Amino acid sequence: MNRRILQLGMIALLGAILPLSAREAVVARHGMVVAVSPPGAEVGRAILQRGGNAVDAAVATAFAMAVTYPAAGNIGGGGFMVIYPGDKASPVVIDYREMAPGAATKTMYGKEDSIYSHKAVGVPGTVRGLALAHQRFGKLPWKDVVLPAVKLAEEGFVLDSPLASSLNWIVGSSEEFPELRHVFGKNEGKDNWQAGDRLVQKDLGKTLRLIAEKGPDAFYTGPIADLFVAEMKRGNGLITRNDLANYKAVAREPIHGTYRGYDIYGPPPPSSGGTCLVEMLNILENFDLRKQGRWSPETLHVMIETMRRAYCDRARHLGDADFVKIPAHLTSKDYAKKLAQAIDLKKATRSEDLCPDIKLSKEGDNTTHFSVIDHNGMAVSNTYTLERSYGSRVVVKGAGFVLNNEMMDFNWQPGVTTRSGTIGTTPNQISPGKRMLSSQTPTIVARKGKVVLITGSPGSRTIINTVLCVIVNVIDFDMEVQKAVEAPRLHHAWFPDQARFEGTSDYEDAVKKLRAMGHQVVGTTQGDAHTIWVNPRTGAYHGAADPRINGKAAGY
């Protein structure tokens, strides 16, 4: 991987960061959508105002963001949607994670293979997933929730500064992808986009109109599939018409845990998010974090050690549950208590000592999350992705949409697990039809049957820990939701054996003590957690857009 290109990409995406604490939560009574794309959030709000429910708004927002946030919003990727229906109905997860094509093999990738290629594309799940959610819970007609995205693509929308910078970066760094430059370049990349310019995407508009009028089959078995397969053949990709036709989204039971009297709902495998989040909260429940203080070295140490243990279990056990057996004890209170008791409160654990059964060898990420709630209290937490920023950078010619590079989320090098963070353990190795392990963690927190918090984040392996930090801020430290979203975040992923902390300059004394305990602490910027909190006293919805990049809380 070219680290310089990746760094430039992050600079482009984060170049217009707003100062933290520059925002206040938006308060509304009837409905709320919080997303990284202001036009996407506005589409969702408009659907709520028309009488649509939270699922209608989520589907409309997701399709709109395929137009207005092409770095991660998509129809060529996949994700997970957690739905809290209310009315005493059980929460549901729509799993629309991508799958390996039928021709995939465990050892199909070598070190020389690029993550930006047709070969890196997994079978997309977004369109089937959104359709399944709408079929199960939607209120408005399908066409009505897709057409707003059609209009945005056909008529265009006005670019803000972050998106203009992002487009200029991707076009300037993708000379070998002419269709991407054609679709997203201003005058084929000869000029730079500016805030206030209008981006029109005619091919994508045709594609979305077909989906609106013909339904999801247009994508998987109809004319869009023809263009998709032609693109695969053009670039020696693996996905066939059968792969597309056989893809199915799945309604699953969420991972459910409790934390200090709150119910936690997250996605099950092939996402590692729900399992790891509940495991970590179960461990933290054994410590009085409030008494220790949010930014004390004691609290930060316990959180690091908790993350380290959960991510070790992630590597050892988690993968697509249709292919591997997931131990039930990972989310049990008893198991968490044993892990908590093994934490040395004065000293950091060496990561390699936690999993001696995993042999260590010698020696990404662009996702987006949005949260929705309607006037009846139905809530949706949705995270979906192309994997890297602009995915594989392959745009389907004539169809206008970007394809994912999710195959890289498998363990490409079987048996190779390194101290630098490469994971090669068995559960997430490639197999035909298998869904690659994900860290996506769309989460809904409830109490006494009522939604309290809707959150999630992009950020690859940092996602789960971003969500953990937001939940701890709200539940343990009673932070107002905007402050909970803006507060410095912490991350440890087992390997590399380092704690990444956004507060290194603000909490220098705590960092010194952590380092004295044996932690390697480095600075970072982490996540993009667009969150909704429901005031239990008034019932009002408080929407917090994350100022680390961009976004909008659109309520009414």
Task: Just list the catalytic residues.
Answer: 367
List the beta bridge partners of residue 443. 455
| Share in percent of the chain as helix, strand, coil (round to 5) | 40, 15, 45
- Apex 286 CA angle, 320 and 490, nearest 5: 65
Handedness of CA 276, 278, 283, 284 (dihedral sign): positive
79 alpha carbon, distance to own chain's centre: 7
Strand 379-387 and strand 366-373: the pairing is antiparallel
The tokens for 21 are: 């604490």
Largest CA distance in the chain: 62
Edge to edge, the sheet with strand 32-35 lists: 250-252, 92-96, 78-84, 379-387, 366-373, 32-35, 552-555
Dihedral angle over CA of 101, 106, 111, 112, nearest 10: -40
User: CB within 8 A of 323, min separation 6: which ones?
Assistant: 427, 431, 434
Question: Distances from the Cα of 455 to the Cαs of 127, 233, 235, 461, 508, in angstroms?
Answer: 22, 39, 37, 16, 29
Query: If DSSP codes are grouped into helix, strand and coil, which group holds residue 133?
Result: helix
| Contact between 410 and 437 (Cβ < 8 Å) | yes
Give the 3-state secondary structure of residue 94: strand
- 128 φ/ψ angles, rounded to the nearest 5 degrees: -65, -40
| CA–CA gap between residue 168 and residue 181 (Å, rounded) | 10
The helix/strand/coil state of 537 is: coil
Taking the CA of residue 218 as centre, how many other CA atoms within 13 Å lie in the half-sphere pointing to its CB?
13
